Amino acid sequence: MYYYDSPAGQLESEVPFYMQFLGEGRSILSNLSILQADRYFHGGIGHIDEDHPGGITIDGESQEEEGRIHEEEHPEKIHRAPGRFNILLRISEKTEITRHIHLSGNQVKEIIPWIYYSAKIDPHNVLAYTLAGYWLADRLDKVDEAIAFVKEGLKNNPDSWELNAELGRLYFKHRKDYKAAARVLTRALQLLQGEPHDKFQERYVLSFLAYSYEDIGEKAKVLPLYQRLGQLFPEDGGIKRKIRKLQEE
């Protein structure tokens, strides 16, 4: 997921009146709110992700045990030890918290207010809604709330492929409503292919759409999707095998 800059010319009537006076500053505040959510995820400590230096990541795959502290060096923080008698530097070192932790289990709820505020400050910050969708549904088991919030985001950003894709993912993964997922993901794909994008983004949408069609039973629609995936990732053996299997059927 990457930062999404709010488009200029957003409809002022969609923004609460007490926020309108901030003008373009809303998008800055909204992004800062997301940064704060990231800090909260890391126990209050600012974190720079080397893979996404301009943004934050969703730790979607790690399933840490609740309460386990994952300690590792911050590669961006190169600490030489201060001299033994340099008392102020030593005090400073001891007062600063540098351990790297992630919130786990139910603790992740603590980041929710910041994501919520981010969306409220700037309803065109698509990242806020997609993050909310993931954290609410996948980590906090609040699927209905996640879907409602992403739908609210879609009302404010109807042409956002990210929000359509996230809604499709929620329908697919949590509601098992493959028809709804297919409908929404088809729209996501149309929107995505109508704007500059990278192949990983397209793979994400194509994959979920293909799975949805498979689960509905509309196998005729699955092969073209995998063929498109094959064009994007010609070296991917898994995709090649899938295409062969579908062609044989």
Partner 1 sequence: MRAVVAIVRGMVLELFRRKDFYVFLIFMLVLLGILSSQTFFHIEGISRYMRDFGYTLVMLFSFILAVTFTAKQVPSEIEARTIYPLLAKPISRFTFIFSKFFGGVAISVISFVLFFASFILFCLGEGQKLSPVLVAQSFFLGMLFFCMVCSMVVFFSVFMTMSANIAVSFLLYFYVINFSGPLRDAVISAKGFVAAMLGTFYYLLPHFDFFDMRIRITHAWDPLAGWVVAAITVYTAVYCLLLLYLAAMIFRRKKL
Using CB under 8 A as the binding rule, whether residue 28 contacts partner 1 is answered as: no
Using CB under 8 A as the binding rule, whether residue 114 contacts partner 1 is answered as: yes
Q: Could you tell me if 226 and 210 are in contact, meaning their C-beta atoms sit under 8 angstroms apart?
A: yes
Residues within window 29-68 making contact with partner 1, judged by CB under 8 A: 40, 43-45
Using CB under 8 A as the binding rule, whether residue 229 contacts partner 1 is answered as: no
Q: At what angle do helices 161-170 and 143-156 cross, to 10 degrees?
A: 160
Whole-Å CA distances, 233 to 51, 132, 203, 230: 21, 30, 9, 5
Which one-letter DSSP state was computed for residue 172? I
Interface characters, 150-189, with partner 1 (x: CB under 8 A):
----------------------------------------
**Shortest gap between Cβ of 43 and partner 1 (angstroms)?**
5
Tokens representing 239 are: 């995709």
Tokens representing 65 are: 């045990």
Identify which range of 13-21, 140-148, 150-158, 167-175 contacts partner 1 by CB under 8 A: 140-148
What number of chain residues touch partner 1 (CB under 8 A)? 33
**Shortest gap between Cβ of 214 and partner 1 (angstroms)?**
31
Residues within window 74-103 making contact with partner 1, judged by CB under 8 A: 77-82, 87-89, 91-97
Which one-letter DSSP state was computed for residue 66? T
Q: Out of 136, 150, 167, 191, which residue is the one contacting partner 1 (CB under 8 A)?
A: 136
Whole-Å CA distances, 78 to 25, 49, 75, 209: 34, 15, 7, 44
Burial of 209 (C-beta count, 10 Å sphere; 0-12/13-18/19+): buried
Residues that bind partner 1 (CB under 8 A): 40, 43-45, 77-82, 87-89, 91-97, 106, 109-110, 112-114, 116, 136, 140, 142, 145-146, 149
